[in-house]
Amino acid sequence: MTYRSAGLFIIGTELTRGVIADKHCQLLANQLTRLGYHVERMVVVPDDGSIATVLSQAVERCDLLILTGGLGPTSDDLTRSVVAQLANVDLVRDQESFDRLYSRIGERIWGANEQQTMIPAGFVAIANPNGTAAGFRGTIQIDGREIVCIALPGPPREMDPMFYDEVLPYLANLAGHDSFDRSEYSTFLIPEAKLEELCRQASFNGLQWGTRFQDLKISLYLVGGSLEERTTMANRLKESVGPSLIADGDVSAASLLTDELLKRGETISCAESCTAGLAATLLTDQSGSSAWFWGGVSSYANEAKRTMLAVSQETLDTDGAVSERCAIEMAEGMRSRSQTHWAFSITGIAGPDGGSAQKPVGTVCFGFSGEGRASEAVTVRMSSYGRASVRRKAATVALLLMARYIDGCSLLDTVSKWQYI
Amino acid sequence: MTYRSAGLFIIGTELTRGVIADKHCQLLANQLTRLGYHVERMVVVPDDGSIATVLSQAVERCDLLILTGGLGPTSDDLTRSVVAQLANVDLVRDQESFDRLYSRIGERIWGANEQQTMIPAGFVAIANPNGTAAGFRGTIQIDGREIVCIALPGPPREMDPMFYDEVLPYLANLAGHDSFDRSEYSTFLIPEAKLEELCRQASFNGLQWGTRFQDLKISLYLVGGSLEERTTMANRLKESVGPSLIADGDVSAASLLTDELLKRGETISCAESCTAGLAATLLTDQSGSSAWFWGGVSSYANEAKRTMLAVSQETLDTDGAVSERCAIEMAEGMRSRSQTHWAFSITGIAGPDGGSAQKPVGTVCFGFSGEGRASEAVTVRMSSYGRASVRRKAATVALLLMARYIDGCSLLDTVSKWQYI
């Protein structure tokens, strides 16, 4: 049979008291939707056993039930017994889960933790690499209908890998997908609606895709098919947006650059005006960043550009602070001061004030300087969704373009495909 | 009667498809919990009318129902008719809502928008200052029980003010709170559990409180009582954590400092090591920041501290880069370079590597320099919840202490009450 209609059940009193926000619904709903499931409802209930009522109300309309939470060792944690009751089976010890937990906590397993190794009879345990509670999955017969039921622990760092590694492939199979391998990519600066459109255009052979917002990027998952097919689709996407906006794996714009610097054993510095330190902050997000990052200057005032970076008064007078000439002088001034292998600069109009017809808000100039290399500058005009957005995009652009410059690629060609950022 | 048990119903297919994350549940659950309501369940359903089933299943256990979404002008938007059906009344035009909308969109009201001015007969409309859909509230009789039902639009920028301005005072009253005035405060560096404990200790005369996480702070709302009572409780809180961790109104640590600079017409610069530009980024988050921010240096490498800030080799050799002496030299070097009225510095161990027994991860030194003022330095040892957390806290500490230094307050006294940050 095919399972089409899903219900999600999130258990946790800290959620219904508003102490923390639910992290699972969007992830689960997004992935299930991609697989062709219709999510009928998502229900959050406290740890008080009311999950029993809610579940029994849902079985009528759902043929897939996913529960998170309520698998802990305390008496509030009732998910196991509620599912066993619904399935009309006993709770039995899963020996593998027991052995695994025993090897970790020894004799302390007796007592509360022991129940964390129990699952409804006939169910299959799902190993939890990051916690003590095993998950489980199985089928329940109700009124002649077969319902799939999956229970996972609540903490995202336990739930997420269990879902991706075990549950998602299992569900893909149930939903009629032969294969459920997937590849992950990181996309930068592409608006969500645009990414969706690009995926539709590049899709073929029934490949599915999913996206997930992260801080300065959107993660893209291509699902199903062969690795070759997924790579082909990814290459089509990369071609349509030009290089550097879509990278393989789960990476940040900063790490693309700093990994390259680390590999080369080279150092960098940066001069920032409108971003005022944001790019430097990103370059030092990782531990060990002193290997590549020398330092930077936030040259906000024109005088700061002159005294700390040796930008000429003439450039400021004729071309202005937001100009390619100023960007180049900033990058060169920074590198001559720091003696790093590479330096870049950012100077632009973050808004909301300060724009003009010639240089509207969102206009940002970037300069690049390298040992024994001709300096380069480019200007990017970003659509402005507010000051914070322009600054975040500008820092990301600088990191991506710096990596291109180090690679010896044409920056103008690169940005020519970025009209929509 | 008193209403004690609440159900939240969030309607939107974009939510059950995982395109966007729900923003309402935590806010509503948190506020309702503060008022003494028990949130029985929070349910998210698509725009397909399944809200009718879910609602009828919930009325048995809930005596307060809050719905968001499904009030738009399209045929998917069924909240109005579902509630009218449940209440067993007709939909009628709310003349005030109609007139308000007519004054905004004129004759275009005829057609789809007209239904946005309809509410269940006997219900009260809730004005929507930011959109076309009015909300409504009223009571429903089911099996002799009275159930309160409130419907609000889905977009947070429409829902939030309607909830805070109209619904919350109404619910507070239902829950037996006489008055529902509230005061807002901004708290910095206080962990949530600690803030909760402090509020419990400082509470009196039945004042309620609520908190809301924002980027680098937690907003605190004191609710009920008179302004004098709320101020007294706030003053008790301020006393227990010392000044500067709790500020009146909705403000950021950066704006506390920059408002003061703007008022004085004075300028600032900063030298950052472990935060590498984060404080500078915060100082320039607002438009117009060139009025107070001259620029800064991210002196990550020791050589950057020497060449850009004139930190002495001797200091680096004897006291090390993470020392009060180095912090003072950084701040003084920054100010002598920039000629700003004020300068501060941050140098510390963000981790996860680089800590020692003497200077564990989370040890951060801050230096302060001002025109005609003796320089000062303090060391703060933060509990480390990871590199990003140490860096964010360090930047916040620098901004708060800089404001204290400008005020002429003792920095040592200030930080002496900060053991738990």
- Mean pLDDT for the stretch of residues A296-318: 97
CB A36 within 8 A of CB A23: no
CB atoms within 10 A of CB B369: 28
Interchain pair A42, B15: CB under 8 A: yes
**pTM of the entire structure?**
0.72
- Cβ contact B401:B366 at 8 Å: yes
Q: Is B367 left (phi over 0), alpha (psi -120 to 50) or beta?
A: beta
pLDDT of B243-270, one tens digit each? 789 999 989 999 999 999 999 999 999 9
Q: Which of A112, A166, A395 is nearest to A281 (CA)?
A: A395
Interchain contact, B338 vs A304, CB within 8 Å: yes
**Chain A, 237-296: which have a CB under 8 Å from a chain B CB?**
269, 272, 274-281, 283-290, 293-296
Interface A-B: count of C-beta contacts within 8 A: 224
B33 — contact with chain A (CB < 8 Å)?
Answer: yes
Contact B245, B418 (CB under 8 A): yes
CB of B16 less than 8 A from some CB of A: yes
Instruction: For residue A312, give both structure tokens.
Output: 């000429």
The CATH number given to B253-416 is 3.90.950.20
B300·A279 Cβ contact <8 A: no
Q: How far apart are CA B221 and CA A4, in angstroms?
A: 44
Q: A31 to chain B: which residues are within 8 Å by CB?
A: 18
Domain boundaries, chain A: 5-174, 182-248, 253-416
Pairing of strands A182-187, A293-298: unpaired
Tell how far CA A254 is from the center of its chain: 14
Strand partners, A65: A7, A149
Instruction: Measure the CA dihedral A405/A406/A409/A414, to 10°.
Output: -40
Tell me the nearest-neighbour CA distance from B9 into chain A, angstroms.
9
Supply the pLDDT for residue A254: 97
Nearest to B154 by CA among B227, B86, B70, B91: B70
Please list every residue in chain B whose beta carbon sits closer than 8 Å to the beta carbon of residue A53: 61
Cis ω for the linkage preceding B352 (within 30 of 0): yes
| pLDDT higher than threshold 90 for residue A52 | yes
Residue ranges with strand state E in A174-324: 182-187, 208-213, 218-223, 246-248, 268-272, 293-298
Residue A337 near chain B (CB below 8 Å): yes
Q: Is B354 in CB contact (< 8 Å) with chain A?
A: yes
Contact status, residue A392 vs residue A350, Cβ threshold 8 Å: no
Determine whether the interchain pair A50/B33 forms a contact, defined as Cβ–Cβ distance below 8 Å.
Answer: no
CATH number, domain B182-248, options 3.30.70, 2.40.50, 3.30.2310, 1.20.58: 3.30.70
Write out the two tokens for A17: 């008291």
Which residue does chain A place closest to B389, by CA atoms? A285
Assess whether pLDDT exceeds 60 at residue A76.
yes
Interval A274-282 mean pLDDT: 97
Q: Which residues of chain B have pLDDT under 50?
A: none
Query: Could you check whether A182-248 and A253-416 share the same CATH topology?
Result: no
In angstroms, the CA A338 to CA A355 distance is: 32
Q: Tell which CATH classification among 3.30.365.10, 3.40.980.10, 3.40.605.10, 3.30.360.10 matches the domain A5-174.
A: 3.40.980.10
Nearest residue of B to residue A5 by CA position?
A: B16
Task: State the smallest CA–CA distance between residue A63 and chain B in angstroms.
Answer: 16
Q: Which residue has the higher pLDDT, A10 or B112?
A: A10
Rounded Cα–Cα distance for residues B227 and B209 (Å) = 14
Distance (Å, rounded) from C-alpha B330 to C-alpha B321? 10
Residue A29 sits at the chain B interface (C-beta within 8 Å): yes
Q: Are B29 and A18 in contact (CB under 8 A)?
A: yes
Residue B89: closest CA among B54, B141, B127: B141
Residue B45 has its nearest CB partner, among A22, A41, A277, at: A41
CA distance linking residue B108 with residue B110, whole number of Å? 5
Q: Is the N-terminal amide bond of A352 cis, ω within 30° of 0?
A: yes
- pLDDT over 60 (residue A153): yes
A293-298 and A363-370 strand pairing? unpaired
ipTM (interface pTM): 0.70
pLDDT mean across residues, chain A: 90
CA-based R_g, chain A, Å: 27
pLDDT for the residue A47: 87
Q: What is the pLDDT of residues B264-319, one digit of tens each?
A: 999 999 999 999 999 999 999 998 999 999 999 999 999 999 999 999 999 999 99
Alpha carbons A277 and B272: distance in angstroms, whole number: 10
What confidence score (pLDDT) does residue A2 get? 61
3-state secondary structure of A321: coil
